[in-house]
Amino acid sequence: MKLKIIFIIALIFLIAGCEYETSLTDEHVIPVDKAVLGLWEAIPEKTGDSGSKEKMMVLKYTDTEYLIHYPTGDEGFYFRGYPIRIGEISCVQIRLIGDSKGGIKTADRKYHVISYQFVKGELEIKTLNTDMVDKNIIDRNKLKKAFLKNKNKGELFINPVGFKKV
């Protein structure tokens, strides 16, 4: 139980700190990656942690959009996500669309940008570094310009969280 609370707090802090008022792009024409679809279980940071493990469900919503439920269960959030490519960088733009109580106000539907890769068969997700791409930028063109300015820097995406397929 303690691990579950810590993990939820860490995830909320991680995502809440990476909110953007605008999207990098509204265009979503890239097909979803079938390899990320399914039920995923968070990998604890510390080896040997046997506490409750959070799960994430990634579903294909349309050919170019994901529906993400994380963490699964009563305390979960729902996100709409779609693959994007900005300056040769592939990532996923997600937007909070609801929680366990239902939909949320449009004003609370902030954007997040994440990257993912597979490392030794596990899914690793990172969030856009707000020190490089300021989360206070509200103009889409300026946001895109800041992203492109930092696209070749190794720390563009940070805070890796690992998941294994269930």
Domain span at residue 134 reads 2-165
Model pLDDT for residues 54-78, shown as the tens digit of each residue: 999 999 999 999 999 999 988 899 9
- pTM for the full predicted model: 0.84
Give me the numbers of helices (H) and strands (E) for the chain, helices first please: 2, 9
Q: What is the CATH number of the domain that holds 117?
A: 2.40.128
The domain tally of the chain equals 1
Model pLDDT for residues 135-163, shown as the tens digit of each residue: 999 999 999 999 999 999 989 999 999 99
Closest to 70 measured CA to CA, from 124, 8, 10: 8
